[in-house]
């Protein structure tokens, strides 16, 4: 079984400042890693994913994340945030062994609020 811990429930930052949203996971098997963003009253949109290869993954909207196997972390970063980045962010994992049946296990979410 897998579990995901997002260490901050809320992160307020000023516009154009950098931000890091933290994610740690626990799993007895190898996993794929994902970050999703959820805007109010909408579904989840994939920001980026780590499947294999380079541990630094770049996604949409200027976000990137780094997979750290030894620390079982997959923190999300953006060097300069915009008001439009205000949303809920979810870290998720899935079992590599499940092939097409990649059900996602999500963290509790981090609410990112950008202040002008």
Partner 1 sequence: GAGVSQSPRYKVAKRGQDVALRCDPISGHVSLFWYQQALGQGPEFLTYFQNEAQLDKSGLPSDRFFAERPEGSVSTLKIQRTQQEDSAVYLCASSLSGQPQHFGDGTRLSIL
Binding-site ranges for partner 1 (CB under 8 A): 4, 34, 36, 41-46, 49, 90, 92, 99-109
- Residue 25 Cβ, how far from partner 1 at the closest point, in Å? 13
Q: Which is nearer to partner 1, 63 or 90 (CB)?
A: 90
- Residue 3 Cβ, how far from partner 1 at the closest point, in Å? 11
Q: Which is nearer to partner 1, 7 or 105 (CB)?
A: 105
Q: Which is nearer to partner 1, 28 or 70 (CB)?
A: 28
- Residue 28 Cβ, how far from partner 1 at the closest point, in Å? 17
Distance CA 95, CA 77 (A): 24
Contacts of 16 (CB under 8 A, 6+ apart): 80, 81, 82
Q: Where are the beta strands (DSSP E) in the chain?
A: 2-6, 10-14, 19-21, 23-27, 31-38, 44-50, 56-58, 64-68, 73-78, 87-95, 105-106, 110-115
Q: Which is nearer to partner 1, 40 or 116 (CB)?
A: 40
- Residue 31 Cβ, how far from partner 1 at the closest point, in Å? 14
């Amino acid at each position: 079984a897998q579990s995901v811990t997002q260490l901050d429930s809320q992160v307020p930052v000023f516009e154009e400042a950098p931000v890091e949203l933290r994610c740690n996971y626990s799993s007895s098997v190898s996993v794929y890693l994902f970050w999703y963003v959820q805007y109010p009253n909408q579904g989840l949109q994939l920001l980026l994913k780590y499947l294999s290869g380079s541990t630094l993954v770049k996604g949409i909207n200027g976000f990137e994340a780094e997979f750290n196997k030894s620390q079982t972390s997959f923190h999300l970063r953006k060097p300069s945030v915009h008001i439009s980045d205000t949303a809920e962010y979810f870290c998720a994992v899935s079992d590599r062994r499940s092939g097409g049946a990649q059900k996602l296990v999500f963290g509790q979410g981090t609410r990112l609020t950008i202040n002008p």
